Amino acid sequence: MSDILARPRAPIDVLSQTDFFAVLSREQLGRVSGISQVQECAEGCQIYSHGDPAKYFYVLVEGTVRFAIGFGNRNASAGDILRRGKVFGWAALTPGAKYRIATASCVAPCTVLAIDGDGLVSLMEQDNALGFQVMKRLNLLITGTLTAFAAG
């Protein structure tokens, strides 16, 4: 990952430097950046908790996030520690499952790009090429997360 992500940038720059979104055209990235906002989070901040409404899909711009999937009343480590350039919060992109099944908390001060989940789903419906690329990446992300959860 490039050092560009080490500093907060315009949303389109963050997206273009993130593996998950790098396959999109500049025009598509511009539309996604239009529904995104940079947020600063302090060390120890919980970005979201198990059971919270899933509004945003996140790109970690700077910092470190601990990610743990929940089951019942407990969290199990899955995906574990996320670093710069990683995406998380995929429940925001899964229609019908609009609540978090995981907890994401900042191990260090973080900068995230929060992408409106409903807005991204709408863009995916309007632009099938964008939707197909995001769904391919999302499939890999979810499969990897669940495989890590199953492996313990």
pLDDT at residue number 149? 61
Global pTM reads 0.87
Report whether 8 contacts 41 (CB < 8 A): no
For 64, the 3-state DSSP assignment is coil
What is the tens place of the pLDDT at every residue in 59-93? 999 999 998 876 555 555 445 789 999 999 999 99
103's tokens: 């907890």
Residues constituting the chain: 152
For 101, the 3-state DSSP assignment is coil
The CATH classification of domain 9-147, taken from the options 3.40.50.2000, 3.40.50.10490, 3.40.50.720, 2.60.120.10: 2.60.120.10
Q: Which residues pair with 74 in a beta bridge?
A: 71
Q: Are strands 56-62 and 87-88 parallel, antiparallel or unpaired?
A: antiparallel
Average pLDDT, rounded, for the chain:
87
